[in-house]
Structure 1
């Protein structure tokens, strides 16, 4: 009789094969929810002789996602699998995947959000302590929910990257980009505001259980609305005071707001 872990593992691989994001996401979460049963099942899959041969079809994706799942479930078991597989005569395609996934063993979380969500910050990101302080503050915003978010990765901002954040559908994670040099003055404030809004936007995708990854305008609007709500919640005093104090300066602020909206649109146009 097929166990629940075996059924969910097969569903995970089927979702990868068909490119059905929702199937992958749901199976991934189900396997993480029952690690004691899932780990032996994934180990069994990774013990297959299939990884020694020329990989047909989606087999390379299977290998990668099984390793990624193992790394999320149990670092010690993941390390053992990396070592064991490293001694096998893997096909070169799988060998490259193994070498890439082995780099996860070198990573240690920079901090945790909500006590259990690891945050990984790339070495070339500017001022990691500031990044940590910001993320911890943002994650404590009133009414923010991080349910089902499994990890946050902060990577270096690059000219070729046209996004500031990404909702990682398969692994229920969030990816944020960050400058490699620390801005100053107004640019620093703007950079922090952009990334705070982007963080809330990506969380909004999780909250609304979106599965298209930013490809649907209606879903982007929902995530934007959630981000605006959290942005207001994060600074209720300033929001209230601002409506009174800044109202006489509304004409002068209109151009600035247009500029910020343009930057925010770029930040969330995934």
Structure 2
């Protein structure tokens, strides 16, 4: 990995959450054996603390422990909701938008997976995944704000005459409403009838804003820089607004659930009820 590349802290945090949850939380519904392998040695340490339920005493390390544990409890219902929708669609090709350190290509080998991400982020992912066994995804380097999605996907072998399942997880809050709308428009242009778009988004809640402020203060007290300093939230959506946007581009919402519902269904730990209620997964099909 070159000195100019830097992994998204959000992507690392999500991957740490998956690694911490693998085989521990809702084990009959969730597994991600590739997650630990995608982390670098220093990133694995707090994961091991969580897996061993061994909270360290020093405050900076304790903050890392609590952050990874919270990520794990959020990631399990989010992943289950998305994976259930992917498997139910059973489409021949899956495109993951803003893939980060996603491990679906390795843990769901029955899928043909295309991973779309910023070129620098994708190079970091390729470096981390170099030694993983199994078939890697087709990497599609795209800056969604500037590059045409369809052209890059076609060059990688994506077919617009076949239905596609699109996974858009953990990305929408970091985009402006205009960028979200533009991405949906591009997705629609590459989607055959019967395609499915699975969108993870956050609905507006005053408590979420307060929570981010508290998190920044706690992070600063540990001498760390908040993840939101470099990756701030730029948009939240009500279910009605998201359904309206998707509908304008030919996607009819079939289901839209908040993560608390899924966590209760699968028996995943619930320590942050409001955060789980804030996150949602919408499943919309192209008519």
TM-score (ref. length: structure 2)? 0.28
| Larger helix proportion of the pair | 1
Higher strand share: 2
Return the TM-score normalized by structure 1. Answer: 0.29
Larger Rg: 1
Higher relative CO (CA 8 A, sep ≥ 6), structure 1 or 2? Answer: 2
